[in-house]
Amino acid sequence: VQLQASGGGLVQAGDSLRLACASSGDTSSRYTVGWFRQAPGKEREFVSAIRWSGPVTWYADSVKGRFTISRDNAKKMVYLQMNSLKPEDSAVYYCAADRHLINSAVRIPDQYDYWGQGTLVTVSS
């Protein structure tokens, strides 16, 4: 599976962005897709994840109520709608996928087998 993240940019605090994660290759399996982010000097942290079926989602407490994850399996896309952005949301955002994640593992970066390149989000104050 190949993943490609896009949609990052420079915005002001309070603005919105929508990130997209496009998948290609073996997409016949039912992958869980997660979004992670990494700010300079910090560890990669979990942002959100979604099961292949769509309705089951997870969010980090720091983004709950502001970010929404969704997927379009027909288009092989996963989206992260980010509203009310804050400067502390600035980071490189990565999408990742895995077929065999149990619920307790979706927030752990090392549990994902496939990663896309990152897309930079910068939020100015």
pLDDT tens-digit map of 25-75? 876 668 999 999 999 999 999 999 999 876 899 999 999 999 999 999 889
Q: What is the pLDDT of residue 27?
A: 64
| Residue entry with tokens 């990152």 | 118
| Residue entry with tokens 């992958």 | 31
Please report, in angstroms and rounded to a whole number, the separation of the first and last CA atoms in the chain: 37
pLDDT digits (tens, 9 = 90+) for 77-114: 999 999 999 999 999 999 999 988 999 999 999 999 99
For residue 75, what are its two tokens?
């288009």
**36 and 78 Cβ atoms separated by less than 8 Å:** no
For residue 88, what are its two tokens?
């502390």
Q: How far apart are CA 125 and CA 89, in angstroms?
A: 11
Instruction: Between 5 and 28, name the one with better pLDDT.
Output: 5
> Over pLDDT 70: what percentage of the chain?
97
pLDDT digits (tens, 9 = 90+) for 10-20: 999 999 999 99
Cα-based distances in Å from 111 to 3, 42, 92, 122: 16, 19, 19, 27
